[in-house]
Amino acid sequence: MISAIAVAIVFRNGYDAHFGINGDGAWMTPQQGQRETNEGIHKLLFGLGVVLGKPGAAGTAMIADATQDKSIAWSDVAKIVPYPSRMLSDSMIPSIAL
């Protein structure tokens, strides 16, 4: 419960991301302000993991930092699932999951 409250405060109950689709595939990257917040948290978690002798925490921080940007090539997409009930804001296009 404390973790959920801390995350809601730090991330202001949201995540600012930029999504894109092109001929190569689909991708997501955090907006610059969100990226800076993420990097600060990753550095804090890594430092705490090192100081407290918790390699799991340090490793989690390293993995989280290395995977901020996500992408998938169209050749790796096995299924596209439309969600017409979850329309994108200001659009008649349904959201999809790859």
Reported pTM: 0.62
Q: Which three-class secondary structure string do you get for 71-86?
A: EEEHHHCCCCEEEEEE
* pLDDT the model gives residue 17: 82
H or E segment to which residue 29 belongs = strand 25-30
Name the residue type at position 14: G
The number of helix segments (H) and strand segments (E) in the chain equals: 3, 5
CA 58, distance to chain mean position in Å, is 18
Query: How does pLDDT run along the chain (98 residues), one tens digit per residue?
Result: 666 666 666 666 667 788 888 999 999 888 888 889 889 989 999 999 999 999 999 999 999 889 888 899 999 988 887 776 666 665 555 566 65
* pLDDT the model gives residue 76: 93
Cα–Cα dist 65/39, whole Å: 7
The owner of tokens 């989280």 is 64
